[in-house]
Structure 1
């Protein structure tokens, strides 16, 4: 660790950029993006620490917490690197910068700033250091990043302050005073646990997140403020000192050769302006899933920590009393914004859109097993039954585990962390043990499916070890049964490698979603390095997987994600159980993605790196358009694509167009479901509805059914879009092509 700031220049080798531009990217390319994200995050963190310096707080000052964290990093650099690289840490930093910039809300600022104290506390547990820090409590609970949640028994409700102390044995003691002056204390040895751990299983110590370490090409530094050139490499993993920004306050980056040299668009300057998420503007708001910490939901987590409500029975390691609690101020309402990176890949809902793990063994402890590995578990001390009327005293962070040639990998299944939601802080939503086991079951199936494609760097291929966190959305219990498809998924440029997902019953659907969301993470990291397009943020473009118009950045995200999805389905061609659906989805997504790529090439103001990226996607998709596909599946795919575009225009586009010929949009437009995209995946055996007859290749019967629907409601966009497409299938001539091109001309418009 050094005290001298150094300029950091990232020069991406041409071959890595070409891999990513094609929609793929091997481990080395993803490793380069991860290194760049690390440097960006340290820049943002330095900005945040500077801005927090004058914030009044009853806790230890941010500078003190940072010093504690740096001391831990000297002993266990990989564990602390994992904490800082965790997606939730990126989400916290971005949220705090938005708060300081006045564009986000949340609990009192000092309480959210106290997350740095919790990061430092977790780091000392990994390092086996003894320290004492004040930490914020919310209703008696505190979340230790990447480890789990501790609950102080019989603590005061609301926002209070506790004293947290760690020992060289990896133990944590929390102590506080109640309003009547009596103390309350708990001691535990924090550790994570596998999602399927039975009640008698001891928690497995955590490890760091998988961070590929392939080397990256580093080029010479651009001229400094003085005009003299310099050279430097990205900061080494052992250094937590943020890299020095360039004269403009930006992290410099380029693609070799030098003709591709650009600077990143969204690293904040020293003024502290927050970087907007690369995923685009806030999308449809989705409320956080319900959750509680009822003891009855935790049969496997009830044993482990040592607890006591009497400080005289088990005193804290320090005699210092916790500071006086501030009067708990009213909690400000949180903002419901969600970055909607991935959208509408399923018919039932919008698809809008831990952390690090490190061993809690005493110092010096065993050598680190390496990124992503699960070390041999340490032996916890004597454990007494935990929990009281308030709920379990320790809730471990669960992990999804799978085995790789390099060893076991544990990916956080984060249902506890306040910044897991990829946006503003949310309360815990603890999964029932049965639901956690279902997650592991479906994840095992998804991993097996992804492994079936073999190695390689092509679009649609993903090493699950690259995923840094999975955040369950919506459901917390195994009943009622989960739907077969993913209803909601999300990702954020602030939380590289994390993905929020509503669990499906189908491993195939989960595997597709993992690919989809990781594509968003890769593109978000590229957008942090290169300005790819000049976006005016006007939402006026057609996206074949959305119900609403999109801006150019959202369009680019969709094209990149669904190019990966098309590649995923191409790899399923040879799997008999998936062959029919794979042919359809591959044909559909290659067609839709190529349409969007054409829009980007003709309508977008692309920068040189952006044009190279989009042209790389075009080459991939053009090659795939020449791949033979089962004729029946190809017909259904083309029909489904025509139905979506037709209905989109009927529901969104107003007539007449603007004076300059640009689209005008209906004032009554809104979200609409799209069941057809997935309904057309297989040929119906016994069709009953007009849609099913059309999917079965019987447009005449479908046309009659749609006509009947229009007789009942002439303005029904679903029936009208079906009637237009079925009529064109029966008579593919000039008279039917015009309604396909501009179906809104046939749609009754709202009065006024």
Structure 2
């Protein structure tokens, strides 16, 4: 086997994972992020002037120097910014732009964001500094902290200063001077985020930690890279949401009820959420929702380049919120495992039936979907066995039966693959073990019948639509 202990692969195959297994995945992903950031700087140094002009390169060097100084002051605070999930998509965009064959029109704005990231790191570290930043599209985002709304129009400079525990942001006029510019904005740092009496400051809402010792979870509706390059509609996701106070309160109320429900689904669900969830990105309600977003329709997803982020519209109930986290964090977990050790050598051709999708799926997508759905089947079964209210038990059994039946439809395809690596074979075998264990506490017969009918109908529709 690779350097991954077999016990770790087996734990993850059961959709579980203790502190050792999860810690291994997190450390590897964080190391990859730091290497990516170093590669970005090296690429800028090597890039031709047409891609990275001397002024931009000099600014990057200054930003890097500020990061190093901030890290000497408070390493943990700086790592909070550098390892922030949404810094991953930004760093990859920069690296692609710096190593491309032709200038990327978005690269100047991407490089400007490095200054904002360095400033955010210095702010979190409490290192006094002054820097000139650049707002784009009427917004200057400081990762993990919030964003300053500026006048719409072309890129505009903003002078940032940290002194006496307060951040002062001074929008400049078009020439970079102060004359005719908007008044400054003062932002205070607090234990649970940032505060300002100026409505131009848009703070990132920080949700309480899932469990003691874990980090709070940002609900980030300001970072410009939260969905950049995702082509949301292609994956059935709605647009990103900007939250007002009412929406923020709704998210906070629902979040407050999630952790007890995760524990009903097994103590490992709270542990994996605390270890793997580092950011929530709110999406708008999908079609079919009520205007308030309280309808049953929901969408969610993850991004491999944004390890630790879950994108989701607000689930209608705390139980659905908990199940969304269970579902999406399995994708996070499996993608991180696959980065450490390949799980298969199948090609990427979309040819497989998956009861949760209407389009043909590649083998990797089938594996990812089965892995997340068997975790959902386990969660909903535990929830049904532990719920007090009859209506809650009934809904949980229905969800469990559907998910288990869906997984049963695709496990034979996964198990029959001759392209599984040793790690992949161990993973699939553990999934099969979980699948059979779930039958020890079956749902009421009516749920089983409806779930089987659902999968049969999905297969029939899939064959008609895809001609096979």
Shorter-chain TM band: 0.7 to 0.9
TM-score normalised by L of structure 1: 0.55
Aligned 1:628-707 pairs, distance under 5 A: 628-654=442-468
Contact 2:137 2:152 in 1 (8 A): yes
d(CA) in 2 for partners of 1:188, 1:465: 35
Aligned pair 1:158/2:154, yes or no?
yes
Aligned pair 1:455/2:267, yes or no?
yes
- Alpha-carbon offset, residue 561 of structure 1: 0.8
2:279 to 469, 494, 504: 469
The alpha-carbon distance between structure 1 residues 398 and 20, as it changes in their structure 2 partners (threshold 3 A), is same
Contact 1:135 1:161 in 2 (8 A): yes
1:552 to 353, 363, 376: 363
Contact 2:165 2:188 in 1 (8 A): no
Contact 2:377 2:400 in 1 (8 A): yes
Contact 2:25 2:337 in 1 (8 A): yes
Superimposed CA distance per residue, residues 307-364 of structure 1 (whole angstroms, 9 cap, x where no aligned partner): xxxxxxxxxxxxxxxxxxxxxxxxxxxxxxxxxxxxxxxxxxxxxxxxxxxxxxxxxx
- Alpha-carbon offset, residue 149 of structure 1: 0.8
Aligned 1:136-285 pairs, distance under 5 A: 136-152=134-150, 155=151, 157-178=153-174, 182-184=179-181, 186-190=183-187, 204-206=191-193
Contact 2:157 2:174 in 1 (8 A): no
The alpha-carbon distance between structure 1 residues 645 and 429, as it changes in their structure 2 partners (threshold 3 A), is closer
Contact 2:258 2:321 in 1 (8 A): yes
- Alpha-carbon offset, residue 88 of structure 1: 0.5
2:121 to 113, 120, 123: 123
The alpha-carbon distance between structure 1 residues 126 and 525, as it changes in their structure 2 partners (threshold 3 A), is same
The alpha-carbon distance between structure 1 residues 479 and 158, as it changes in their structure 2 partners (threshold 3 A), is farther
Aligned pair 1:445/2:437, yes or no?
no
- What's 1:23 paired with? 15
d(CA) in 2 for partners of 1:568, 1:174: 49
- What's 2:225 paired with? 419
The alpha-carbon distance between structure 1 residues 461 and 123, as it changes in their structure 2 partners (threshold 3 A), is closer
Aligned 1:508-547 pairs, distance under 5 A: 508-547=319-358
Contact 1:583 1:634 in 2 (8 A): no
- SS of the residue 2:267 aligns to: coil
d(CA) in 2 for partners of 1:422, 1:447: 30
The alpha-carbon distance between structure 1 residues 584 and 57, as it changes in their structure 2 partners (threshold 3 A), is farther
Give the number of aligned pairs.
449
Aligned pair 1:498/2:309, yes or no?
yes
- SS of the residue 2:394 aligns to: helix
d(CA) in 1 for partners of 2:295, 2:434: 30
Contact 1:486 1:510 in 2 (8 A): no
d(CA) in 2 for partners of 1:12, 1:486: 39
1:81 to 79, 82, 88: 79
- Alpha-carbon offset, residue 624 of structure 1: 1.9
- What's 1:39 paired with? 31
d(CA) in 2 for partners of 1:165, 1:537: 49
- What's 2:421 paired with? 607
- SS of the residue 2:433 aligns to: helix
2:437 to 623, 629, 632: 623
d(CA) in 2 for partners of 1:156, 1:474: 23
Task: In structure 1, list runs of 5 or more residues that go unmatched.
Answer: 1-9, 193-202, 207-300, 306-384, 387-391, 655-752
Higher helix share: 2
Superimposed CA distance per residue, residues 158-189 of structure 1 (whole angstroms, 9 cap, x where no aligned partner): 22333333335342333423359625265445
CA RMSD of aligned residues (A): 3.0
The alpha-carbon distance between structure 1 residues 98 and 501, as it changes in their structure 2 partners (threshold 3 A), is same
The alpha-carbon distance between structure 1 residues 558 and 648, as it changes in their structure 2 partners (threshold 3 A), is same
- SS of the residue 1:494 aligns to: coil
d(CA) in 1 for partners of 2:240, 2:172: 22
Superimposed CA distance per residue, residues 572-627 of structure 1 (whole angstroms, 9 cap, x where no aligned partner): 12214322222232222222213322212223511121112112211211222343
TM-score normalised by L of structure 2: 0.87
- SS of the residue 1:190 aligns to: strand
Q: Which has the higher contact order (CA 8 A, sep 6+)?
A: 1
Contact 1:128 1:168 in 2 (8 A): no
- Alpha-carbon offset, residue 40 of structure 1: 1.0
d(CA) in 2 for partners of 1:461, 1:45: 28
